[in-house]
Amino acid sequence: MNATPPSLSAYDRLRARFRRLALIEEAASVLHWDTSVTMPRGSAEARAEQTAALAATAHALLTAPEVAEELDSAEASAHRLSDLDRRNLALMRRRYRRATALSPDLVEAAARANSRCEAAWRDARAASDFAAVAPSLEEVVRLARDTAAALSAATGLAPYDALLDGFQPGLTDARIAQLFAPLERDLLALLPEVEAREAALAPAIPLPGPFPAEAQRRLCRMLAERAGLDFATARLDESTHPFCGGTPTDTRITTRYDEADPAPAILGVLHECGHALYERNLPRAWAHQPLGEAAGMAAHESQSLIIEMQACGSDAFLAWLGPRLAEEFGGPPEAYAPTNLARLWRRVRRGFIRVDADEVTYPLHVILRWRLERALIAGELAVGDLPSAWNDGFARLFGLTVPDDRRGALQDIHWYDGLFGYFPSYTLGAMAAAQMMAAIRSAIPDLDGALAQGDLSPLVAWLVAKVHAHGSRFGFDELVAAATGRPLDPAMFIAHLRARYAPLPSA
């Protein structure tokens, strides 16, 4: 596996190895995009074998016998390296420690099971038939538990913490509980206030439909370009679940179109653009090295949410967007007034679907999933009992009865693709986005003036300088503190929600 000249230093040989590893992972990412967007349904089994083979190849490259010696040698002479190279080397060691904890058979089996389960989930979700995918999910959960146990033994972390650490390094269940407990309390108190305030307002004017998918595509592409996405090296496609994939120089974002409502497609594209801009603006000097990667998925979600919710959900941006919507879809001008768009697109309501949720209720969706997935990994919840546990937990948080599995335990792709430990990143990202936006407004007093012109460039420039350009130089908490001048504080997120949705009466 090691094709680099032995005359290179141990660290240089590691850099060459990790470059090759990153290229393999990029190929797997493009295959994943193809699976979700263009692959014929009948090709799912072959794709499962392909992704499993790539996963096994990457794992073998990272865990080759000579890697331990190269790491030891490079670390022995680390005093000769720059601070950034030492950080890159530490991240290499981290990747190696996690990879060697897992046997090649386990890595390949998990990749194959995840791919098969994801394909089965697509049909099961469409039919709202959890039983159809349950056997596949049982295998995915079994392998996820095995993975968590192996990582736990190697790292000293609790099993669920070991999975969390794979998505956001340094994140623990105890830290999540510390942040989520006051957040849940404050959200459950705030939600009735927001609902009462909205109930007292005049009804919003509905946008005139239908909204042809082709018109939505044009609008979404224009908005992606306004955000800074360059379609010379990017694509916008459709998929069951919107996502951002590809590579930093070959960006693939997706959305889905509803001709009765353009908001999900538009907001979905803006969300995925936030992810795409982060990837595209990572430090090029560290491309294909651990230091050149994003700081983790909570960091990633902060970048998507600051574009979608904080900036493009603002009154200033909606004032610019309204006339563009009117041009595409027609209808009375008053329907596209920023106050009316805010009533429509920032409306707070208890609903079943996470990806369609508003800023106030969205974190409650995440809290539910966090509780369920840690119970699944701990063996405290059987896969067959997941729908009923979901429905019970949803009723406690939202006061609603889940009507079917499609709007319950089948709605998200994550668990069916083996992604246990990902969900908390969404709400941690929302917290960080609110805190970053407060810092941006202090640094750019006329930010609203730019947003009212549809100009996101001042915002993006700040994000590039304060977040994107650092890659993985900092951990999540360090990154937030360095960018904003203070540690992550959930109270700032609640303050943002109150100011936007239930402002206190002025004195």
Q: Is residue 59 part of a domain?
A: yes
Say whether pLDDT at 448 is over 60. Answer: yes
Cβ atoms within 10 A of the Cβ of 1, count?
13
Domain extent for 139? 10-156
pLDDT value at residue 506: 57
Q: Is residue 445 part of a domain?
A: yes
Same domain for 106 and 210: no
Report yes or no: 391 and 455 within 8 Å, Cβ to Cβ. no
Q: Is residue 36 part of a domain?
A: yes
Same domain for 432 and 288: yes
DSSP string, 79-145: GGS-HHHHHHHHHHHHHHHHHHTS-HHHHHHHHHHHHHHHHHHHHHHHHT-HHHHHHHHHHHHHHHH
Domain boundary among 127, 156, 185: 156
* Residue 276 DSSP symbol: H
Spatial separation of the C-alpha atoms in residues 499 and 497, rounded to whole Å: 6
Say whether pLDDT at 217 is over 60. Answer: yes
**CATH code of the domain in which 210 resides:** 1.10.1370.30
Reported as a pLDDT band with limits 50, 70 and 90, residue 209 is: confident
Q: pLDDT tens-digit profile of 95-139?
A: 999 999 999 899 999 999 999 999 999 999 999 999 999 999 999
- pTM, 2 dp: 0.92
pLDDT value at residue 49: 93
Domain boundary among 89, 122, 156: 156
Spatial separation of the C-alpha atoms in residues 227 and 312, rounded to whole Å: 10
- Considering the candidates 139, 272, 279, 373, report the single residue annotated as catalytic: 272
- Name the phi and psi angles at 224, rounded to 5: -60, -40
pLDDT value at residue 102: 94
Is-catalytic flag, 195? Answer: no
Sheet hosting strand 244-247, strand order edge to edge: 234-238, 250-255, 244-247
Say whether pLDDT at 6 is over 90. Answer: no
Number of domains the chain contains: 2
Domain boundary among 156, 191, 221: 156
